[in-house]
Structures are given as structure tokens and as C-alpha cells.
Amino acid sequence: MTKLFLHKIDLRRLILVLTIVSALVSLANTMQASYLVQSRQLIDSALESNAAYAAKLANSTNDFIEQAQQQLAYSAALLGKNFGDEAAYAAEVDRLRLQTDSFNSVMLLDSRGEVLATSPENQSIMGMTLQTPGVRAAMEEKKPAISTPYISAAGNFIVFISSPVWSPTGKYLGLIGGSIYLRQPSILNRLLASHYHKDGSYVYVVSHDHQLIYHPQSDRVGDYVQGNTVIDKIAKGLNGSEETVNSRQVPVLAGYAVVQSTGWGVVAQRPKAQTLAPIESLMQRVIFKTLPITLISLLVIWWCARQISRPLRLLANSAQSMDDTTTEDRIQTVNSWYFEAQELKRIMLLGIGLLKNNIRRLHADVHTDPLTGLGNRRSLDAALTEFQTANLPFAAVSVDIDFFKKINDTYGHDVGDQVLQSLANCLKEVCRAGDVPCRVGGEEFLILLPGTDKHAAAQMAERLRRQVEAADMPMVGNITVSLGVAHWPDDAKSIAAVLKLADDMLYQAKRGGRNRVAVFE
């Protein structure tokens, strides 16, 4: 199946597919760029508009709060002069509520918090001493105050704006305050509810401690909102705009501003999806405008692909048979008439040469011990197989460094490695061209001497022992080695048994005092 697929999708067809994909990608990139530019403009415009609108509403709310405080201060001054006149109480709280419609309710309290008058009249709280948060805070501070939202004695969720009442002599008499209902129609609702968009946009107001003061969904008023980055910035007193996700996980474009007199934040936000809706029709027009140019570009690219495909196709066919001995000659005959094809042809010829060199180098690395440069166990197994196949007798000399562990423990493994390398050099010096010196363990070495009898092998082992004993090793000075000699097939019919005998002789030499050669008899 794979061969069939590769046969159908040859280099020429692949180039054509890539050119078509490139053209489509170019078209898609143009569409995406247009979409990103237009959407960014719409988003920036919506953010700027929402920020300006939030600032306008914040200023309007701030003006309303200041006017309400002025009205309360004026009433407080009048009542301070007529404190004790119950008729004046009722008249003034009614006037204050009805004259400007700023408050849902107005009340007058004495210095103990007892209700002296209310508008509209509410007999259930008349004469009651209020301990609600807004009243307590205002009485403690004895200055104009705006409360945080709370549940009033009448059960309404309100913001309480108050002004202290002082006598002409400076005695604190109580306070007059107005309530703005947050879950019922109020001037704050009318001020914020008439948002200029009707496409899912809306305005809400939040206190500095993340509590909703106004929201189009009245059942959400009083909720605490967490995890909203816009509200977090309002709590820090910041104004601005940003693209964010609201508490209902809807992407929105929000502008926000702080009401200076209260610390509330006004947020005007619009769903991002509604903002970007006009781009769809715009993108259709962009497609119609760019499609003809794209088709022309495809035709031009298709023609160019056909012109360059032939030399590349020939080179690709040659690449499928790199292991063929004639491949190099066939690549030489390809007419690469342009620069890229010529370079590809040159690189392929260079690659064939490198491949051959790497194979040779890899073969050497696989059969060589990296520390000493001697043969490893693979090299040893290959030589034994060759000797056994050719029925070539050989002597085996097993070599081991005496007290090598002490060298490592005393001087460290780096010095131990240098000793191993020096010993390997000694082995190379005493071995003939056809001998096979190998490192078979940490400090264990084995030499195969093809066509050598046991007597000659023992002489060679003795030469090696004396040479090692006389050599000056780095850092260590002089070392000694123990050697064991055995012969195949004189000593055993099995090669494994002969190697075992050579190893046994090595340990016999160690038991005999080390620095000696032991020959199997």
C-alpha cells in the first residue's frame, strides 16, 4: 500500500500539491490578516466607546450623589434651627423626597438613632431606634456619609446617604438621610438603565468590595462577584477598558470608571461576538475581491512547477535506490540546468560518499573499546568465530592489572583510566599485526595469538609483563600485571573452555604472588 502511494504521489505531483496549498495558505493568510485588522479596529472602537460611556455615567452618578448630599445638607441646616418642631420634621422630609425624586425614602433621626419622621410615612419604624449599618456608621462619624449597601429596617436593600444635623450652637442633634433602593425602581436605575446599545450590551455598578449595586437583572443586585479582572481593577480605583471574560464566562469588551464620591465602579460592556458580527459580510467581500488574483497565481505556479520538476524527479528516483552501486553514476548523468537542482545533485553525491565513510566508521566504533582503542567483546567474538571457521589454532593470553581497585581508590577513576590506556599501548606494542588484543572488563584484557603455540605465547606474555613492570604510569608510577596462557585446540576442544582455562591461569598467577605468567599444562 505504501509503495503504491509513493508511486502515485511522485515529485512532480507533490510539487503541484505544495504550490496549490501555498496559494490557498496565501489566500487564508490574506483573509486572516484582513479579519484581524478589521476585528482589532472594531474591538478598539468598542473599548474606547465603552470606556467613554462608563466615564460619562460615572460622572453623572457622581454629580447626582453630590447634589443629593447638597440637598441633605440644606435640609439639615433648616432642621437644626427648628429641631423639636414635629410639623417641621414631616414637612421637610416630604419636601426632600418629593421635590427632586432623588430618594426612595427620607428619614430624620435624633442623636440616639430614634426615628422622628419618615417619608413616605412608615408607622412601623416611627419611634424605633435604628441600629442598621448605614445609620450606625453615620452617627459615629457625625459627618456627611454614603453607606455601603445593606438591608434596611424595612427590609429593603439600600444605599443610605446622610448629613448630620447640628444646632446653631454646634450641638449634634441627629441626622437626616435618604435611601436609594437598589432592587426597586429608583433614580439610580433610571440613570443607568437607558443604555445606548440594544444588542446585549448593558451597564452595571459595583462597590469597591465587589458587591453589585446595580444590574439589569435585579435578582443579581447584592451579589459579590469574584474572579472578574475588571472589578478587581475598580477596587484599586482604576479607570480604563479591556477585553475580558465576565463572571458568566462570556467574552466581553468592557469600559469602566470609578465614581469619585463613593468609590463605586460603573462598567459598560458589550459581548465580543456582537461587536465582531459585521465582519462576516466584510470577509465575503474580501474573498470575492481576492479570488481572481489567487486563481491566476495558481496557474503561474503550476506552470513553473512543471518546468522544475524533471531534474528533481530524476534525482528523487535515484534517491530511492541509494544502496545501488550504479546510483552514483546515474546521478552524474542528471541534467541539473538550474542552481538548486545542481546543488541538490552535488549534495547527493557528497552524501553517498559520507554514507560510505560513516558505515565504515560505525563498524569500527561497534567493535572498538572507546577508552583504550582496543577491540571489545564484539571484536573478540568475531575473531573467535573466524578462527573456528578457518580451524586456525590460537593461543589465548588473559591479562589483569594487580591491585587496580587500590589505584582507583587512591588516585581516582580519571587516573585509573589513564593507567588502562597506558597498558593498552603496551599491548599494542608487543602484539603482531594479526594478533587480537581486546578489553573484556574493567581492568581485564585478552589477547588472541592466531597460529601461535603455547611456548611462543608464554614468551610473548613474559615480554609484556616485563614491559608493563618497567613502564612509568601517569601519577601511579609502576604497576604490575598477572597473565594466564592457554591454547586451542591443544588444551581443550571448546573455545569457551580454553578461554576459561586462560582465566583460571590468570587467577593462579595472582594466587602465586602476582606479577607473573601462569601457563596451562
For 488, phi then psi, to 5°, come to -115, 130
DSSP character string of 201-241? -EEEEE-TTSBEEE-SSGGGTT-B--S-HHHHHHHTT--EE
Give 442's contacts (C-beta < 8 A, 6+ positions apart).
404
Neighbours of 22 (CB within 10 A): 13
Neighbours of 454 (CB within 10 A): 19
Grid coordinates 589513564 are at which residue? 418
CB 216 within 8 A of CB 204: yes
C-alpha 462/C-alpha 464 separation (Å) is 5
Helices and strands (H, E) in the chain, number of each type = 15, 16
* H/E element, 449: strand 444-450
Cα 60 to Cα 55, 108, 366: the distances in Å are 9, 27, 85
Closest CA to 462 of 444, 489, 480, 441: 480
Closest CA to 387 of 436, 428, 431: 436
C-alpha 482/C-alpha 464 separation (Å) is 10
Residues with catalytic roles: 443
* Residue 147 cell numbers, joined: 453607606
Helix, strand, coil shares of the chain, percent, nearest 5, are: 50, 20, 30
Closest CA to 111 of 162, 46, 62, 173: 173
